Chain A
Amino acid sequence: MSITFTSRPIPASQWVSEPDPRSRGVSVSINDVSIALGGRTVLEHFNIEVPAGEFVAIVGRSGCGKSTLLRSIVGLETPQAGGIALGSASACTHKPDIRIMFQDSRLLPWKRILANVTLGLDSSQMNAAKNVLAQVGLAERANDWPATLSGGQRQRVALARALVHDPSLLLLDEPLGALDALTRIEMQQLIEEVWRSRGFTSLLVTHDVAEAITLADRVILIERGQVALDEDVNLPRPRTRGSARFAALEERILGRVLQGRSITRTNPCSSARSVDAE
């Protein structure tokens, strides 16, 4: 039932008419950012550079500051020090071309699916919303209430809601964390397809190293508020998990993540499960 979009994919050429989709993305540079939440330092002198159109996955243990990083880019947290620059402009809350997807879909339960997708748009863009909804395979659910959808379907609506704004930067804050394994793979394919055809820059926060390697050009590990590992993923797309190179890379990154655990073992709250590979 939820595989509808893979059974009749829409050719990438119909998604955007721009000749070079990569031009849509915006570069992100995080310069020496420090953020403390509730007196606890989450990010400390944090630096990364993401070129326009790159897909970067950020992994790390729970509470390492991955989500805070995304939230500060979209303006939901304010860094105490340092700067975040996008393209040339500086980040602010109402920047029209950054969109974020959360772990929970955050659909408005009192709005029908289509109205959720058109949130923040004027009525003239209704057709664009319908098209995007069709792209995620949920055109026929346009008039349903969010409560009647499954978790995976809700995340697809949330993705459609982000895409309808045609973002130049898409932030994904563990959007697939709560989905079952099958739906997750479908969603990964969908996100990869959309990213390849539209060419926006994307930052994906995830617990799942395999997911990071499947989707990203580059995997960054955050540990104790700083970049602990920055690894390029030079595998041809679409990537297959079975391949030896995939497995080797996964093992290396996972090993590095787990190595971090033995150092920070003093924190009893952190769970080893969060970095388990599938």
Chain B
Amino acid sequence: MPGVRQQAASQVGMRAVAGRALPWVVPVFLLLLWQWASSAGLLPARFLPAPKAVLSAFVTLTASGELWTHVRVSTLRAFSGFAVGGGLGLVLGLLTGSLHWAETLLDTTLQMIRNIPPLALIPLVILWFGIDETAKLFLVALGVFFPVYINTFHGIQSVDRGLLEMGKCYGLSGWRLYREIILPGALPSILVGVRFSLGFMWVILIVAETISARSGIGYMTMNAREFMQTDVMVVGILLYALLGKLADLLARGLERYWLRWHPAYQAVR
């Protein structure tokens, strides 16, 4: 009997492993196909280097410390831009969401500006700030501002009226009502904005760094293009994918922590 049970347990274990492995089947297959095409000479290194070459470029760049410097510079840029733009978006969203006069005063203007793609401002931004750090900070901040702003505004507006009424009946008002009911009620929506912003943050930064920079992943990639180092270019592109994924994981971690009361984030009992 114990043998049978053990077998059953190991079967369940195998199934769990299979479940974990399944999402990786396609990427691994594509990687193998890519390697095979490169080795067979179907894919010239001029267009796309073999995975092995990319890996060795990655190792060389890491060993020299160059990669780390670029990643650090880019990450710092991304998050300082996010802090400025996201912070401003949050504050203004809270303001226009909570105070009717602020909405009347600011919302129309902000909605107009929202329709300008941040990247369309690049010529002006270069004119204003040169190709300095400020230019990249400005672009990233502008890019992440609107997702945070709109979702914060919407979150505040859509707080359950019933809960607000209840809070007032139970003697909450002013800051207490805000802290106990309005902010937590708006939080799911605010976090949607944050998550969207974190993705968009990298997109903006890539473009900004590609156009003009003296360091960062975008610079590394563009520099490699000058010397036809396709392997380094692919390392740069993959790094963006990795950093984007990490930012998303961060946002999901925040959601899981702050929204742990939410049925959608509760572990099945």
A-to-B contact residues, CB < 8 Å: 74-76, 93-94, 96, 98-100, 102, 104, 106, 108-112, 119-120, 145-148, 161, 165
Contact = CB atoms under 8 A, between A and B. Distances in A.
B180 A109 contact: no
Closest CB pairs A-B (n = 6): A106-B166, A120-B170, A110-B184, A147-B263, A110-B261, A120-B171
Interface residues of B, number: 22
B163 A145 contact: no
A268 to B, nearest CB: 28
A99 B169 CA distance: 7
19 contacts: A75-B169, A93-B168, A99-B169, A102-B162, A104-B162, A106-B166, A108-B184, A109-B261, A110-B262, A112-B261, A119-B167, A119-B170, A119-B172, A120-B167, A120-B171, A145-B266, A146-B261, A147-B261, A165-B170
A108 B181 CA distance: 7
A93 B169 contact: yes
B169 A76 contact: yes
Prevailing SS type, chain B contact patch = helix
Contacts, number: 56
Interface in B15-36: none
A106 B262 contact: no
A76 B260 CA distance: 32
A94 B170 CA distance: 7
A3 to B, nearest CB: 21
Contacts of A161: 170
Interface of B: 162-163, 165-173, 180-181, 184-185, 187, 260-263, 266, 269
A109 B169 contact: no
A111 B261 contact: yes
B156 to A, nearest CB: 15
Contact of B180 (A104, A108, A145): A108
Contacts of B167: 119-120
Contacts of A100: 169
Nearest to B269: A148
Given A106-B162, A147-B266, A161-B170, 10 more contacts: A76-B168, A96-B171, A98-B169, A99-B170, A104-B162, A106-B163, A106-B165, A110-B187, A145-B260, A147-B262
Contacts of A106: 162-163, 165-166
Contacts of A99: 169-170
Contacts of B263: 147
A76 B187 CA distance: 26
Contact of B262 (A74, A109, A112): A109
Nearest to A95: B171
A158 B41 CA distance: 72
A129 B160 CA distance: 25
